[in-house]
Amino acid sequence: MGKQIFDKIKKIMCMFTLVFFVMSLTAASVSAGSNDVKKWTEEKTKWDKEKKKWENEKTKWDKEKKKWDTKNKTGHDYKNWLIKYNKWLSKHKAWETSHKKWETNYNKWKNSQKKLIEKY
């Protein structure tokens, strides 16, 4: 009789343990999902700020380039400007490449979120 009661209590405890385990997994996945949204939102904000900064610099360099296109392109001043411009351009291209990679990943994540919402 005592063994049967012990076995029933053991089964009930196992069921409770299983139920609480499943609940904790569900809560963890929901929490991770909201952290994911926060992470992507913060990253997007950061990238948008950087993009604006790079676009402003690009506008400045393009204006200077137009000025040099109308001037005589010989002399020490032009060579110094061209060296600075090429350094900036290589940095800009590197940033642009990393931004495109991030943007691709962001769009994949965004599409997966849309599919997940449509699914439920």
In a domain, 104, yes or no: yes
* pLDDT band, very low/low/confident/very high, at 99 (cuts 50, 70, 90): very high
CA distance 72 to 20: 78
pLDDT 10s digits, 27-65:
555 555 567 888 989 999 999 999 999 999 999 999 998
| pLDDT-based confidence at residue 9 (cuts at 50, 70, 90) | confident
Question: For residue 24, is it within any domain?
Answer: no
Q: Does residue 15 lie within any of the structural domains?
A: no
Residues with Cβ within 8 Å of 29's Cβ and at least 6 positions away in sequence, in order, are none
95-101 LR contacts (CB < 8 Å, sep 24+)? 95/50, 95/54, 96/54, 99/47, 99/50, 99/51
Sequential DSSP letters for 46-79: HHHHHHHHHHHHHHHHHHHHHHHHHS---SHHHH
Domain assignment present for residue 8? The answer is no
Domain tally, the chain? 1
User: Is residue 89 domain-resident?
Assistant: yes
Is 115 a domain residue? yes
Task: Determine the structural domain holding residue 110 and report its residue range.
Answer: 37-119
In a domain, residue 2? The reply is: no
